[in-house]
Amino acid sequence: MSNPNNVSLNINHALEFIDGQALNIPTLSILTEDGDIHPSATAPDISKHTAIKLYETMRFIRLLDERMQGAQRQGRVSFYMQCLGEEAAVTASAAALDQDDMIMAQYREQAALHYRGFTLDQFMNQMFSNELDLGKGRQMPIHYGSKALNYMTISSPLGTQIPQATGYAYGQKIKHIDAKTGELASTIDNVTICYFGEGAASEGDFHAGLNMAAVHRAPVIFFARNNGYAISTPADEQFKGDGIASRGVGYGIKTIRVDGTDALAVYAATKKAREIASTQGEPVLIESIAYRLGAHSTSDDPSGYRSKDEEANNQTCPIDKFRKWLVKQDWLNEEDDIKAKELIREEILAALKRAEVVAKPALEELVSDVYDTPIPLLQRQYEQLKEHIKQHPDAYPVTAGRIK
């Protein structure tokens, strides 16, 4: 090999270090705050049907978040996380994908799931962990998953989905590699998108996942949601470099940074990223910049680590920005929009009331399909749990009466 170190052989005879901020990455922005197209920008080709569905999804998620935040405060659900301020980043990226593309989410991407068809009742059943929950009540609220909608079930530990997405995407690619030449024989039918926050990018899984994707050219779109905070840790205490996008360049991955409050910019960037991944069989990194308007979760109080002035200076609403653009296209009637919001609020409250009275899963659902047949150790633990609950029925009022 003429270049076994795999580096650019640009010889320099002067002692010179490259500054850590030498790479200046721009941010793609298409929409103005007033819903106009920037004079020097080009709007993506998006149909009225897609645009309206995109808006309706963002609108629904904002209203669902408001209601479930309140439900948690009332003690009706144990935990909740809002998508507040990041609705465009999540929804517009999902809209740019194929329905059969795999989504591997972190925990704030409920809009992507709803865009694909996850129903209001399915959301509620999961959050109340009742017997209609697809996850059989085994997970805490907002840890959704749907095999039918190609949405991998969320896991709580940060960053685990990043190397998983690389591996899954590489599997998607293998089916299209010519066995004789080792080259990509055709366009890859489906790709994988992997969402994560800038805080998760501090996990080791991030670096392993991106390096593997770059070296093996996996058709995965890494979508980094840089909302400024990893729970209470601000971005400037997490990393020194130019955001997350600079790391993509460092790993040799095609990279773009977008205004995450701009649905059109996110849609255009993700559409192009999918084209690159499917036709060239390689990864792409998108960094979305959108301030987290609310708390990290219902367990968090942001007043302890950021000021009211900071929050007041970062109040761009992605839904309002896109709504103004739709109105200017004559694709949305504002009076109808107001009526729709009221109807959605009523539907959400009704679904909440339905879900909270549905019975909890039977105790045996804990182990019923972990293995094809429960292993002896698991069976013994299950029997011990039943005996424990029988001895302390008052501590387990929901379960005790249903043990056989």
Nearest one of 171, 107, 115 to 145, comparing CA atoms: 107
Token couple for 312? 């007041």
The kind and range of the H/E element at 289 are strand 284-289
CA distance 221 to 193: 5
Helix (H, G, I), strand (E, B) or coil at 288: strand
Helix, strand, coil proportions of the chain in percent (round to 5)? 45, 10, 45
Catalytic residue selected from 143, 247, 257, 292: 292
CA-to-CA distance for 131 and 149, rounded, in angstroms? 20
Token readout for 297 is 């979760």
Locus of tokens 């805490």 = 140
Check: CB of residue 64 under 8 Å from CB of residue 118.
no
CA 349-354-115 angle, to 5 degrees, is: 65
292 is catalytic: yes
Q: Measured between alpha carbons, how far is 142 from 161 in angstroms, rounded to an integer?
A: 16
Place of tokens 């292993």: 375
Tokens of 165: 């997405």
Catalytic residue among 305, 345, 354, 382: 305
Query: Which residues are known to be catalytic?
Result: 292, 296, 305
